[in-house]
Amino acid sequence: MDVRALRYSLAIAHFGSFTKAAESLHVAQPALSVSVKKLENELGVTLFARKAHRVEPTVEGRILLQRAERIFAEIDSAINEIADVVELRSGAIRVGMPPMYGLVYFPRLLAEFHSAYPGITMTVIEGSADEIGRQLDTGSIDLALLETRRVHAQWRQVLVGKEEMVLSVAPAHPLATRKSVPAQELDKLPMVLFSGSFIQRDIFDKLCKRAGAKPDVVLQSNSVALIRRAVADGIGAATLLRSLAESPPPLVAVSFEPREILRFSLCWRDDRYLSKANRAFVEFATKSGRPK
């Protein structure tokens, strides 16, 4: 049985015309008619009958067309599944995140994912949550790794990890021997902080406001490396993830009272197609080892 003849038959039934079907398929009408006629001869039935100014399928034709629709649905599914398999060998992922996440947590995740899917290339974009959110909305990136409080309601998300935000100080700092610090003691404390577009700054400002504390902000920056260096040099304390504070060369991590926990979510636009490569990464990140 000629598969092309089945496609031609579906088009004829849809348009009710041999001529329009041929035009839509970009084939010559005589070739289309000959192909359908051969199919009729093969099956020993008439597939179409002329009624007034329209061609309609016969009873036998309707039976065949119902089966043909299923056949092509299965063919399309097979093509998509094969394409997905190919994509997992040579796909691409574009993910955005705040810079702090890209220093400790994400490199480990990326190395593990690359080992499992070496053919998939990844582009990583860093920026504030607002910047990353805009890029996700415009389609410049496929996925965003954000703190759950920065995930928009219309996005899909999966929780992939959590970690404590701590007060990071140099080993010689007066608070270095403390296990935790209440917000009241942040009053007049020299601080090196991220700008207001970062979730750590937003959490810290609200913490201080509730406690009536007014820390002494001596430096503001969007550079994690610069803030770590300033803390190590004794310029002031900073708010960092615990894993980052304890990374070499280590700073001292002091918990807030109460503890501040950040939760990481991978999110994407539900109204856009998420490729097999991206879906594989979401599943991998969800199941992999996460920061505690």
246 and 128 in a common domain: no
Q: Which of 26, 49, 83 is the last residue of a domain?
A: 83
Distance, in Å, from the CA atom of 186 to the CA atom of 211, rounded to the nearest integer, reads 9
249 and 178 in a common domain: yes
- pLDDT top residue among 263 and 273: 263
> Does a structural domain hold residue 198?
yes
Q: Which of 67, 83, 99 is the last residue of a domain?
A: 83
> Does a structural domain hold residue 257?
yes
What pTM did the predictor assign? 0.64
CATH of the domain at 36: 1.10.10.10
268 and 258 in a common domain: no
pLDDT in tens, 64-120: 999 998 888 888 878 877 776 676 777 889 999 988 776 767 888 888 999 989 988
> Does a structural domain hold residue 292?
no
pLDDT in tens, 143-171: 999 999 999 999 999 998 889 999 999 99
170 and 146 in a common domain: no
End-to-end CA distance of the chain: 60
**Contact between 252 and 176 (Cβ < 8 Å):** yes
> Does a structural domain hold residue 62?
yes
245 and 107 in a common domain: no
**Contact between 122 and 92 (Cβ < 8 Å):** yes
How many CB atoms are located within 10 Å of the residue 36 CB?
Answer: 22
Chain-centre distance for alpha carbon 221: 27
Highest mean pLDDT: which range of 1-10, 127-136, 165-174: 165-174
**Contact between 240 and 227 (Cβ < 8 Å):** yes
Q: Which of 32, 56, 83 is the last residue of a domain?
A: 83
104 and 77 in a common domain: no
CATH of the domain at 225: 3.40.190.290
Q: Which domain holds residue 181?
A: 163-262
Count of the separate structural domains present in the chain: 3
CATH of the domain at 275: 3.40.190.10
List the one residue out of 246, 224, 249 whose CA is nearest residue 292: 246
257 and 181 in a common domain: yes
> Does a structural domain hold residue 196?
yes
Q: Poorest-confidence range of 20-24, 99-103, 149-153, 203-207?
A: 99-103
270 and 154 in a common domain: yes
Residue 47 pLDDT class (50, 70, 90 cuts): very high
247 and 210 in a common domain: yes
207 and 167 in a common domain: yes
Res 291: pLDDT? 42
254 and 185 in a common domain: yes
User: Omega of the bond prior to 249 within 30 degrees of 0, cis?
Assistant: yes
List the one residue out of 81, 19, 24, 264 whose CA is nearest residue 7: 24
> Does a structural domain hold residue 172?
yes
214 and 96 in a common domain: no
Write the CA distances from 192 to 40, 168, 221, 235, integer angstroms: 81, 10, 8, 7
> Does a structural domain hold residue 150?
yes
